[in-house]
Amino acid sequence: MKTAARQDLSSPQNPLLRALRRALREGEPGADGTFGVEGPRLVEEALRSPVEVAALVAARSAEARLAALEARANGRVRSYLVPDRVFRALAQTETPQGIAALVRLPKRRLEQCLEQPNALVAVLVGLQDPGNLGTILRSLEAFGGSACLLAENTVSPFNPKAARASAGSLFRVPMFRRLKLAESLRLCNQLGFRTVALAPRGGSELRRVDLRGPVALFIGQEGSGLPDAALKQVDTIAEIPLAAPVDSLNAAMAATLALYEAARQRASAK
């Protein structure tokens, strides 16, 4: 095992610490593409994912945890130890666990991700709740999804709540942001995807919709659902039959069910 390059920092004005604080607070990557993640579990997920961990930062009281993470990184990461009060000032969680990191995702080409055989893609259209987004990323990875398209001002996947709910999947599921709905539909059609909109009613039962082959699942906003333009232009609308008086499911649950159903059909087809 290599010895990790570890350094002590004490000034909150240190450029690295300022960058980390900004990244955690804004939940958006900075100009250099790095974003902040907090908590030992997420940082461990980053270390076992194909992402660049640009810096590992720990509070002095979390030195044992830092050492364990350095060992896992096998010398591949620069780490920094800071006083507890400095860490608390940069952390965004209420009870910080003393571990954070600056992480950079690899660049990915959209077409390359979509051109996989039998690609299963989620297209999020204006999703607002970061917990829902994170949950969908986790389900997407769990059920063999190829990519996640984030259209129409969907919340940032780099929001700390989204990162936590993703349980690390945000480090691995290729994501493409700032797309327009029309653009996403055109692209999916060009590449021969079956486009399927999830809606609370007015569609075919989910289990009767063919979800094998290249499929793009369109998922709308929590309150208002998908815009009419999406419902009109997709190949199929799928609904999940619900017992009255329940009239809808949470967006993350509905998406998870559709992804599970796709995986189930694909496994049955083998």
Least spacing, CB of residue 89 vs a copy of itself, in Å: 22
Q: What is the DSSP letter of 225?
A: B
CB count within 10 Å of CB 245 equals 5
Asked if 195 interacts with a copy of itself (CB under 8 A), we say no
Sole binder of a copy of itself in the list 35, 80, 87, 143 (CB under 8 A)? 143
Sole binder of a copy of itself in the list 70, 129, 141, 239 (CB under 8 A)? 141
Q: What is the DSSP letter of 60?
A: G
Q: Could you say which residues in the range 226-265 bind a copy of itself, by CB under 8 A?
A: 240-243, 245-246, 249-250, 252-253, 256-257, 260, 263-264
* Strand order across the 5-8 sheet: 5-8, 78-82, 52-59, 99-104, 34-38
Asked if 139 interacts with a copy of itself (CB under 8 A), we say yes
Between 149 and 240, name the residue whose CB sits nearer to a copy of itself.
Answer: 240
Asked if 50 interacts with a copy of itself (CB under 8 A), we say no
Q: Could you say which residues in the range 55-114 bind a copy of itself, by CB under 8 A?
A: none
For 17, 48, 52, 148, 152, the CA distances from 95, given in Å and listed in that order, are 19, 25, 26, 31, 33
Sole binder of a copy of itself in the list 77, 149, 165, 198 (CB under 8 A)? 165
Quickly tell me which residue has 């940082």 as its tokens: 43
Sole binder of a copy of itself in the list 172, 185, 218, 226 (CB under 8 A)? 172
From the list 23, 47, 21, 12, the residue with the least C-alpha distance to 168 is 47
Least spacing, CB of residue 46 vs a copy of itself, in Å: 12
In what helix (H) or strand (E) does residue 34 lie, and over which residues does it extend? strand 34-38
Instruction: Please say whether the beta carbons of 183 and 230 come within 8 A.
Output: no
Between 14 and 49, name the residue whose CB sits nearer to a copy of itself.
Answer: 49
Sole binder of a copy of itself in the list 138, 195, 211, 230 (CB under 8 A)? 138
Q: How far apart are the first and last CA of the chain?
A: 43
Candidate segments 4-12, 28-36, 79-87, 132-140, binder of a copy of itself by CB under 8 A: 132-140
Distance CA 43, CA 100 (A): 7
For 122, 130, 133, 183, 186, the CA distances from 161, given in Å and listed in that order, are 19, 6, 9, 28, 31
Q: What is the DSSP letter of 67?
A: H
Asked if 117 interacts with a copy of itself (CB under 8 A), we say no
Residues that bind a copy of itself (CB under 8 A): 48, 131, 135, 138-139, 141-144, 165, 167-169, 172, 207, 240-243, 245-246, 249-250, 252-253, 256-257, 260, 263-264, 267-268
